[in-house]
Amino acid sequence: MAATPRGSSPASPDSRPRLTVLSGPSGVGKSTVVAHMRKVHPEVWLSVSATTRKPRPGERHGVQYFFVDDEEFDKLVANGELLEWAEFAGNRYGTPRKAVQDRLEAGEPVLLEIDLQGARQVRESMTEAQLVFLAPPSWEELVRRLTGRGTEAPEVIERRLTAAKVELAAETEFDVTLVNTSVEAVSRELLALMKVL
């Protein structure tokens, strides 16, 4: 399945990697694609988010997340140190701006895996970023993935499905759409877009 470009953006004067943002509805497989891609190409740098939620067993500060308290998070927001941030399930999550800029300046490909709200914020603050939308093969397949987990209450699934409809409707805001029919194929397409291949 080939990538579908949406509009054309001017080519950068040099071949330095751009920030690539991967977003899409819940259940579409963003984390699975990113995990596969980084296993094959560990040089792709995935930004580590700051969060106010407490660490889960096995999670380490600076590896899965930067764990901060509400006061620290407030300071990050006030000082403009986050590229984007959002609140989810009572906790806040955000992308530290400096780490992303440092990696890009060093010529490293940088990937953000974030939600729609975050992708819109990145579009505003870093207009040169490449926004990639990961779409399901069909609505029915997305419903199957969201309901097939079997770990959530029906009302939670209903909320996720409602949110997914809103997220799918935002596809035209992105530069490129990749359809997740195969994790391996989508990973290759994403790497090509990031100029890693």
Strand order in the sheet with 4-5: 4-5, 176-179, 130-135, 19-23, 110-113, 45-46
4-193, superfamily in CATH? P-loop containing nucleotide triphosphate hydrolases (3.40.50.300)
For the segment 178-194, what is each residue's pLDDT rounded down to a tens digit?
A: 999 999 999 999 999 98
* pTM confidence score: 0.83
Q: Which residues pair with 85 in a beta bridge?
A: 94
For the segment 30-50, what is each residue's pLDDT rounded down to a tens digit?
A: 989 999 998 988 888 888 999
Specify the pairing of strand 49-51 against strand 91-96.
antiparallel
The structure tokens listed for 95 are: 């992308």
Say how many CA atoms lie within 13 Å of 182 toward its Cβ.
Answer: 6
